[in-house]
Chain A
Amino acid sequence: MRRWSTGSMILVALAAAAASAVVSRSVTRDTGEATVAAARTADGTPDFSGIWQANNEANWDLQAHEARPGAITQQGVYPYAYARVPAAPVLALGAAGGVPASIGVVEGDGEIPYTPEAAAIRKENGEHWVDRDPELKCYLPGIPRAMYMPYPVQILQSANKINMAFAFTSTARTIHLDKVEEPPDDTYMGHSVGRWEGDTLVVDVTRFNGKNWFDRAGNFHSDALHLVERFTPISRDAIRYEVTIEDPKVFTRPWRISMPLYRRLEPAMELLEYRCIEFVEEFLFGNLRKQQLVKRWEGETMIIDITRKVPTGDKLYEWYRR
């Protein structure tokens, strides 16, 4: 019998190890586990057509945070920030009215680099959420917020346009892959111009009017907002969505958020309406009805009474502009 040198045996061992790594890898992948590759259009670019939805807590607050007892809180029996309790507007919802914890979507150190003046405004926004968050008024939500609100988004990808239709207030935006003139005015949803870099759809969004927030925590921007979004397929059913956010009037430097977007996989999934303009009429105009409509609710352990007030003078109109 020929004796094998140690060197040969080592080489054979390495070859076998490598070969088995390949084999066992394909075995693990082939037990129904193969990641499904991204769908592609006829010209080879990834095809993002379909209905998508974020599955995270970003719309509550982009930054990492613990769970909170309520969307609105007040001081509890202790004067500590970590011992607050749900406030009157949400108390009746019990545990359904809290804010879930989040690992956050802000990259890097997780901080949002506000200028000192802007940080003060953001803090005020957070304290006056009910009166100031445009989402509550069912106003057009802007970008990027519309991408991660808890409602689905339908993407229709054509050769030179990509349309995104949002269930929330039935709004939409078009991403132009071809050349078009700029819009004549600033907008809530921005002006989106896209191009492909390899498998990534890169979208430049400008011409914002500065009236939107990023989340329910009061994070905001000005009309100088400039976004660069990147949509990259992770698989057929997941997109990596990254946004570089720049706004020299509000932030000291650009910053980034990123998150997966997931395809809604129910068979026969379609976009349904969340036409909230009608739903918010009581919220918006209930204080101007001839007779107050929503006044009182009585449960077994609590009664809620609503009193409406009309801000005086110009403040009446300013409230709608927030």
Chain B
Amino acid sequence: MRTRLLTVVGVAVVIAAVAVFARLARTDVAGQSPAPAPQAGPASLPAEAATAAEAGETPWGDPDLQGLWSYDLEVPLQRPARYGNREFFTDEERAALDKERAEILGESDRRYSPGTEQDVGGAYNAAIFTTHKPVGRRTSLIVDPPDGKIPPLTPEAQKKRAEIRAFQVALLQATDVCKNNLPGCSGGKYGPPSPRRAEAPPHYLTVAAAGGPGGGGGIINRSDNPEDRNLGERCMAAVLPDFGGNTGFFLQIIQSPGAVSIFYDTGQGQGWQRVIPVTANPHLPSHVRQWWGNSRGRWDGKTLVVDVTNFSPKTYFQGSYENLHLVERWTRLDTNTIEYAVTIEDPTTWTRPWTVKQEYNKQNDYANRHYKEPRCHEGNYGMVGLLAGARAEERAFADGRGPDPATKCTAGCGGFAAGFGDSGEDSNPLTR
């Protein structure tokens, strides 16, 4: 009898002790919990993940947009009028355009008058922009309106643009650009240095890139302050929406449940990144503004639809500022293609919304050709040189040793059409 009781009690003690120690072990800290530990090795995905991948889905069941993608086609933003409402080139037209562009770019003896600022700009272009992306299928990035053009500006936007333009040409007034009636001076005329050179610009100017002559964006011919220079020179050229600009771009997309991250390797060291919350939560309060706006994503079938609002007044996109509103649609068409479509609207700037479409190509994930170090800022000797050089020119002029800096051009001068001529038959046939 005693033996059996002891046995029963002994078993109970052992069971209880095991229970105590098991609980202690499980609730103790840091990496010692005895949970199952499947090794997700690099070479093979676990079985469930592999099936999901075949279905174009992430392991948690969302459409899979992940990987490295590139956009490396030459497609103008707006469609040249001669192509009317056609969305696509024929293969013959593409080949002809490539040939014509190659011939223009290959002309090594096309020069502006030697020694002019345009000649120097042109030389920079000839050295840098020796290769170009091939012409894409699309006649323009804009697919709506049907004519492929940015819709008309509202009167309010036109007025703002005119005010900026007037300021621009005032700062070019005393330069060769106006003396020689180059396109950069259109709307202005040659004259002595304008007193407006001492004014702050009439609106906050944050143009992404130097761009072509004239424009309406607002690059100004001055280096009094870092704020006078364009965003590219300030190493802040990354904008949303980003269509890849001159250089095209590489995207890295990584998803997790409820979030999609996109790193844009774009421009020259101007890369940027965003994380899109996939949520029904409302946007930020309207007084909180961001350079890249505030994104809200949701899945619509296989498409990631992203609503972007809350842009900062410092945003500048084709004339739109803080009232910019985007609706993006990211769809993986097949293993190797993502279609990106974005509807762009701002009733204070354009009379109707417009839509851009692009196709991105899958790149080799192993090669990992994705530059995630937008180090423009960490090596921005250009800004230092622009400012220090301008101060040196002022001192030289004050000492009678140099020309009036007001007669020199450092922005909007022309000659910077990426290897093409500014106008005429040597200009880029895609924007002519």
> Which residues of A does B touch, CB under 8 Å?
5, 7-8, 11-12, 14-15, 18-19, 21-22, 25-26, 29, 35, 37, 40-45, 47, 49, 134, 137-140, 154-163, 165, 170-174, 176-181, 183, 187-189, 195-196, 198-200, 211, 232-234, 240, 268, 270-273, 275, 277-278, 281, 284-285, 288-291, 293, 310, 316-317, 320-321
Contact = CB atoms under 8 A, between A and B. Distances in A.
Given A140-B373, A157-B256, A159-B59, A317 B381 contact: yes
Contact of A188 (B46, B255, B378): B378
Contacts of A317: 381, 384
A281 B257 contact: no
Contacts of A29: 27
29 contacts: A8-B6, A15-B13, A21-B16, A26-B23, A29-B27, A40-B35, A42-B59, A44-B37, A45-B38, A49-B257, A138-B377, A156-B259, A156-B260, A159-B59, A161-B66, A161-B254, A163-B254, A165-B261, A173-B372, A179-B43, A180-B368, A195-B41, A268-B279, A273-B291, A278-B236, A288-B384, A317-B381, A320-B380, A320-B384
Nearest to A280: B377
Given A43-B49, A196-B39, A316-B388, A11 B225 contact: no
Contacts of A285: 226, 383-384, 387
B272 interface: yes
Interface string B10-28: 1011001101100100010
B234 A278 contact: yes
A66 B290 CA distance: 37
Contacts of B391: 288, 290
Given A172-B273, A288-B387, A290-B390, A275 B13 contact: no
Given A179-B42, A199-B35, A270-B277, A156 B255 contact: yes
Nearest to A175: B254
Given A43-B46, A156-B255, A158-B256, A277 B236 contact: yes
Nearest to B288: A272
B12 A49 contact: no
B236 A289 contact: no
A180 B273 contact: no
B321 interface: no
B128 interface: no
Given A154-B275, A156-B256, A165-B261, A19 B16 contact: yes
Interface in B206-240: 223-227, 234-236
Nearest to B13: A15
Give 10 nearest A-B pairs by CB, closest first: A18-B16, A288-B387, A290-B224, A180-B368, A232-B31, A49-B256, A156-B256, A163-B254, A43-B46, A11-B9
Interface of B: 2, 5-6, 9-10, 12-13, 16-17, 19-20, 23, 27, 29-31, 33, 35-43, 45-46, 48-49, 53, 58-60, 66, 223-227, 234-236, 252, 254-261, 263, 272-275, 277, 279, 281, 284, 288, 290-292, 314, 365-368, 372-373, 375, 377-381, 383-384, 387-388, 390-391, 394
B275 A165 contact: yes
B235 A277 contact: yes
A44 B277 CA distance: 24
A271 B19 CA distance: 43
Given A22-B19, A178-B365, A290 B383 contact: no
Given A154-B259, A165-B273, A189-B373, A159 B49 contact: yes
A289 B261 contact: no
B379 to A, nearest CB: 8
Nearest to A273: B290
A146 to B, nearest CB: 13
Contacts of A270: 275, 277
Contact of A158 (B2, B255, B291): B255
A268 B16 contact: no
Given A278-B236, A293-B225, 13 more contacts: A8-B5, A29-B27, A45-B38, A139-B377, A140-B378, A159-B45, A163-B263, A165-B274, A174-B372, A187-B373, A199-B31, A234-B30, A290-B394
Nearest to B294: A270
Contacts of A183: 368
Contacts of A7: 6
B367 A180 contact: yes
A181 B16 contact: no
B384 A316 contact: yes
Contact of B13 (A18, A138, A198, A293): A18
A22 B13 CA distance: 12
A251 B320 CA distance: 53
Contacts of A15: 9, 12-13, 16
A170 B224 contact: no
A97 B218 CA distance: 40
